[in-house]
Structures are given as structure tokens and as C-alpha cells.
Amino acid sequence: MVKDDYRHQGLRKRLVEDLKTKGISDPAVLKAIGEVPRHSFIDDSAFLELAYQDIAFPIGCGQTISQPYTVAFQTQLLAGKPGAKVLEIGTGSGYQTAVLVKMGYKVFSIERHRPLYIRTKERLQGMGLKASLFHGDGYLGAPKEAPFDRILVTCGAPFIPDELPAQLKPGGWLVIPVGEGEEQRMIKLLKQLDGSLLKEDLGAFRFVPMLKNKV
Ligand code: SAH
């Protein structure tokens, strides 16, 4: 396991302060970000020094570990109670997964890229973080584990797959970056008690694409 020394902890405190100035205000989210050693999720030692800057990084297989601000923003949007069942699409490095575990959620996460799935599973286990990880196509969700209180998509989706809102509990919501090309809109899709869906647009972000039929 990668060690977490006072220098990392100091840098992490600074990152939390940086996120506060950028508008992240939920104390539980800031605490979770303050607890997860982001440098442990970066394989390439060339990037280790930059682990606590508010930027995205390559994690292999052409994918990236999301920018801390994006992770914090999406986590803040989830606003679930501890113990809530949360499905993440796009496990990647497992950094966001770890933040969700620290929020006290019961976490399920799907990754389509097998080598990433395997590496991240070992990494989270090694860190003592409990989450149910799956190798599969996030477009299908995780019907066997449904329904979920929240679903979080961490890759840019060209459209909202019908399977995802179908796997939400009434009163639950989906957070998903939607759009093809360079930029996506962060969409919150609330499943109302009568089952109808209410859409809210929360601004522009950049994500790697959600790929179909490529497991
Ligand atoms: N949450 C991650 C972000 C990784 S980038 C982190 O904190 O590191 C998005 C991830 O989504 C990539 O690992 C990519 O392989 C994965 N992905 C893309 N399309 C997918 C799909 N259809 N199903 C599951 N995962 C997918």
C-alpha cells in the first residue's frame, strides 16, 4: 500500500480549502475528500507530485481519474443519507468510489475496461474500502442489485440510457454528464414518487466518453 505521510495530508488539506473556495460547501463531502489519499489512485509516479492539484490525470487504458472539483461536485449533488444504495458507472481508478464509501454509502460500481476493473478492485481491497465492483456495460446498470437511491455516471453519455432511471427508487435521482464531443451538461434526473422524471441542468463539464458495446 502507498504510504500517506504528513506531506500528503497537508496537500490534501489545501485541496479541501481550494474546493471550498470553488463552491463545494457540504461538510460531509469535504471531509470525505480530506480522508481519501488521492495519490494512491495514480499509477504513474510522474504524476504523483500533482496528485493534490485540482486537475484530471491519465490512469491507463486511455482513461482519466476525474478532477477533484468534479468528484466533489457530483458527490455533493448525490446528497444521500449514510447507508444509501449508490450505483456508480465508470469505476476507473476507484477514486470517486472511495469518496462514496467514505460518505457512508453502500456502493456498487461498474467498469467496462477489464484491466482497470481488476486493478481497482485490488487497490480498494488493499485500502480496506468495501464496495461491490462489477466488470460490465454501464448502459445496462446493475438490474440484479436495483433499485438504487442514487446513480452516478462518471463518463460522458451521448444520451440518458432508459435502464438507469428504471433502476432508481421513487424519490431517488441520477447524476449524469450528457453530451457528445468535448463538453457535457451535468444533468440531475429526479424520479418523482409517481415515477415521472424531472430534469435539471447544472452546467458544463468535461468527461471521457461512455462507450457502448465495448466490454
Ligand atoms: N470515477 C472515475 C472516473 C474514470 S473516467 C475515477 O474517479 O477515476 C470514466 C470511466 O468510465 C473510465 O474508466 C471508462 O473506462 C468507464 N466507462 C466508459 N464507458 C463505460 C460503460 N459503458 N460502462 C462502464 N464503464 C464505462
Measured from the CA of 65, which atom of ligand 1 is nearest? 8
pLDDT band per the 50, 70, 90 thresholds, residue 3: confident
pLDDT band per the 50, 70, 90 thresholds, residue 126: very high
Q: Which residue has its alpha carbon closest to ligand 1 atom 21?
A: 138
The answer on pLDDT for 149 being more than 80 is: yes
The answer on pLDDT for 118 being more than 70 is: yes
pLDDT at 1: 62
Q: What is the DSSP string of the chain?
A: -----HHHHHHHHHHHHHHHHTT---HHHHHHHHHS-GGGG---GGGGGGTTSS--EEEETTEEEPPHHHHHHHHHHH-PPTT-EEEEE--TTSHHHHHHHHTT-EEEEEES-HHHHHHHHHHHHHTT---EEEES-GGG--TTT--EEEEEE-SBBSS--THHHHTEEEEEEEEEEE-SSS-EEEEEEEE-TTS-EEEEEEEEE--PBPPSS--
Measured from the CA of 41, which atom of ligand 1 is nearest? 8
The answer on pLDDT for 18 being more than 90 is: yes
Q: Which residues line ligand 1 (CB under 6 A)?
A: 63-66, 89-90, 92-93, 95-96, 110-113, 116, 137-139, 154-155, 208, 210-211
Q: State the chain's mean pLDDT as an integer.
A: 94
Candidate from 91, 100, 124 with most ligand 1 atoms within 8 A of CB, to mutate: 91
CATH among 2.60.120.1440, 3.90.1720.10, 3.40.50.150, 3.40.50.620 for 6-205? 3.40.50.150
**How far is the centre of ligand 1, averaged over its atoms, from the C-alpha of 71 (Å)?**
13
Average pLDDT over every residue of 145-153: 98
Candidate from 69, 112, 140, 167 with most ligand 1 atoms within 8 A of CB, to mutate: 112
The whole-model pTM stands at: 0.96
Instruction: Measure the CA–CA gap between 55 and 64, rounded to whole angstroms.
Output: 10
Average pLDDT over every residue of 149-164: 97
- Residue 45 designated active-site: no
Candidate from 210, 212, 213 with most ligand 1 atoms within 8 A of CB, to mutate: 210
Instruction: Measure the CA–CA gap between 12 and 102, rounded to whole angstroms.
Output: 15
As given in the structure block, the three cell numbers for residue 200 are 435539471
**How far is the centre of ligand 1, averaged over its atoms, from the C-alpha of 89 (Å)?**
6
N-term to C-term CA, the chain: 29
Strand pairing category for 57-60 and 63-65? antiparallel
pLDDT band per the 50, 70, 90 thresholds, residue 52: very high
Q: Which residue has its alpha carbon closest to ligand 1 atom 10?
A: 90
Where exactly are the structural domains of the chain?
A: 6-205
Residue bearing the bigger pLDDT, 48 or 64: 64
pLDDT tens, position by position, 166-203 = 999 999 999 999 998 889 999 999 999 999 999 999 99
The answer on pLDDT for 44 being more than 90 is: no
pLDDT at 2: 74
Residue bearing the bigger pLDDT, 111 or 43: 111
Q: Which residue has its alpha carbon closest to ligand 1 atom 13?
A: 92
Q: Is the peptide bond before 147 cis (omega within 30 degrees of 0)?
A: yes
pLDDT band per the 50, 70, 90 thresholds, residue 145: very high
Residue bearing the bigger pLDDT, 136 or 180: 136
Type of residue at 165: P
